[in-house]
Structure 1
Amino acid sequence: WRRTKIVTLSPRMLLVNNSGRDLSVRQDGSDAPNTFLRSGTRVAYHWPDASARANARRLRLRPDEYGWDWSGALDPATPGSTWLMLRNTVSHAHTRVRVESREEGATLHVVVRSAQNRPPPYRIHNLTTLHVEVQQQNAESGRPHDILPYRSFDYAWAEPLQPPVLVVKARVKADVRNDSTLLGRFRLDELRSYPPTRVKHPGRDVTTDVYVTVRADGPTRVLMITDGARAPGRGGALGRSGAWSSRVSRLRA
């Protein structure tokens, strides 16, 4: 046996589906058929278009059910965890998954897990009478997410490879998007307060001052959108001690 050599062949990439639902996976920019990944299974994955540069090989995924849009592109070769927001364009349902990439020997394991029962990376609270719409800057897919007055929305980036900047607009009427007022472009990992933006009510001599603040709530970064009466630290309802936490608890309920 001294002259025997053992050659072990291992796949370069192994996709593992621990999300609790069947998935479809495809290479970004390729017309090759999708790879089906049943819940609880794993499959060796080979790039259909091997001619693409190694640093330009990206994956997209979606639940293998009617109406779900493709996720943003992600780089499986980058170690660590990536949050993805997935959206159904028919039912308007949302779900979040975490994609973990790790090296085990010669194989890159790409594990997809459901993140619905974990604290989200971001949460947006709309504590105004206005309708708020949010969308990642330069996101290629999907419409803006609408947040009704006095509602909250758990958020993750739609396009993890695009700049982590959230574009936030507000409008008085739910069905009139062309009257939206830009509140700003925000980096949700920067904890700070922003100057107010004045939103004009169409057809009326009425305006609303809207304040935006980014806070930390454990592992979650919270974007608070408030009007003048509830602006944190300005003598409003959210400025008093304990009022912010109780208001947010009622909002989540």
Structure 2
Amino acid sequence: MASLDARKESEQRKWSDPFVLDLAGTIGEIESDDYGANRKFSIGYSIRPAKGQYSRTKVITLTPRFMLINAMSSAIEVCHSSSKMMTPAVINMANTSGSVANSRTTSPVNPVVQLDAGAYADFHWTLRFAKTRTIRCRFAEFGWSWSGAVPLVESGEYAVRMRHESTRESKLVRVTLKLDSSCVCVYFREERTTAPPYRVENYSLETLRTHQHRVRRSEILLPHHSLDYAWDEPTEEHLLVVDMLPSAAGDNSRPMRIGSFDLDKIQRYPDALGGTLGIEISTDGPTRVLRFTDTRLRGKKLRQSILKLLMTWQR
């Protein structure tokens, strides 16, 4: 009976593809499926010559291909997901038994890695989303929704946005990927509030609604308010759609589309809404700023400046 169990267990595990050991200096990745655990294990390997009297020997080092590092002061959760759907279940990496950590479990199909502040853990894929190498993250406190999908590659940097479902609070998190030998280190850091990737400023008298192209999540921007912004879905098209909402109470007319904007392209747009709404994209240090202004106020300020200059000359 024991031999049958062992054979069944071995049949549920698949060997990785072979790799050549002759080439020193090689760095690569191999994968092995475990159908019983619904996991695709991703292993990094490096081949280097030994030192000294063992120089003719090659040293093969195996590491987790991906290592998650929480450099924030808050606990977070990370899951493997497709760009469209996910049904994660929480697994606390601090719990060596691998038991479910809290009541937010929805399915054992896609386990979640839970990282306390300053913690780290290796990361492997689920077979369900094996073709899509993306992750999502959220704060571990109740009420936070999942961020957009971030691709796991050898290097890169992404700013992701996490929202609280009840309070509508949102926070920006910087995800940085760095290759260290055969291991890709994935750092999660709090984004500096003084230098967000983007900012939308509404200096007009209109109420605006913004959302990423083909993404349902939207933000309402009141007159003379600003919004620190990052793409809700980093892997989707980087276009920000802006609509003007009806200003009168009880007005059931449809929102008016102002335009779709590439926030990385610095330019001034033609005035909109009959010439009353000025639109420009500029820079503020590392931040790209999409600014809406009331051209009537612009003209008023210009007249005030001219009048002040004339009064100075008369003196």
Please indicate, yes or no, whether the TM-score normalized by the shorter chain is above 0.5. yes
Query: How much has 1:79 moved relative to structure 2?
Result: 1.1
Which digits, 9 at most, give the CA deviation of each residue in 1:133-164, with x for residues without a partner? Answer: 11110225x3x111111111111111111111
For 2:167, the equivalent position in structure 1 comes to: 91
In 2: Cα distance, 1:239 partner to 1:85 partner: 42
- Cα RMSD (Å): 2.6
For 2:73, the equivalent position in structure 1 comes to: 20
For normalisation by structure 2, the TM-score amounts to: 0.65
Q: Determine if contact 2:154/2:179 at 8 Å carries over to the other structure.
A: no
Would the alpha carbon gap of residues 237 and 218 (structure 1) be closer, same or farther in structure 2, given more than 3 Å must change? farther
Q: Determine if contact 1:126/1:224 at 8 Å carries over to the other structure.
A: yes
In 1: Cα distance, 2:138 partner to 2:65 partner: 22
For normalisation by structure 1, the TM-score amounts to: 0.80
Structure 1 residue 192 and structure 2 residue 246: aligned? no
For 2:222, the equivalent position in structure 1 comes to: 148
Which digits, 9 at most, give the CA deviation of each residue in 1:204-247, with x for residues without a partner? Answer: xxxx822211111111111111122234xxx4538999xxxxxx
Q: Determine if contact 1:95/1:116 at 8 Å carries over to the other structure.
A: no
Structure 1 residue 160 and structure 2 residue 234: aligned? yes
Q: Superposed, which structure 2 residues align to 1:28-67 within 5 Å? A: 28-29=81-82, 31-49=109-127, 52-53=130-131, 56-67=132-143
Query: Quick one: percent identity of the two aligned structures?
Result: 31
Q: Determine if contact 2:202/2:222 at 8 Å carries over to the other structure.
A: yes
Query: How much has 1:178 moved relative to structure 2?
Result: 5.1
Which digits, 9 at most, give the CA deviation of each residue in 1:92-142, with x for residues without a partner? Answer: 0010010000110110100000004440111111112211111110225x3
Query: How much has 1:19 moved relative to structure 2?
Result: 2.1
The amino acid that maps onto 2:231 is: W
In 1: Cα distance, 2:77 partner to 2:198 partner: 26
Structure 1 residue 122 and structure 2 residue 198: aligned? yes
Aligned length: 226
Query: How much has 1:70 moved relative to structure 2?
Result: 0.7
Higher RCO (CA-CA < 8 Å; seq separation 6+): 1
Query: How much has 1:170 moved relative to structure 2?
Result: 1.3
Larger Rg: 2
Which digits, 9 at most, give the CA deviation of each residue in 1:12-53, with x for residues without a partner? Answer: 110000122111111113541211111111001111227723
Q: Determine if contact 1:26/1:60 at 8 Å carries over to the other structure.
A: yes
Would the alpha carbon gap of residues 177 and 68 (structure 1) be closer, same or farther in structure 2, given more than 3 Å must change? farther
For 1:183, the equivalent position in structure 2 comes to: 258
The amino acid that maps onto 1:193 is: R
In 1: Cα distance, 2:153 partner to 2:303 partner: 45
For 1:237, the equivalent position in structure 2 comes to: 301
Gaps of 5+ in 2: 1-52, 87-108, 306-315
For 2:288, the equivalent position in structure 1 comes to: 221
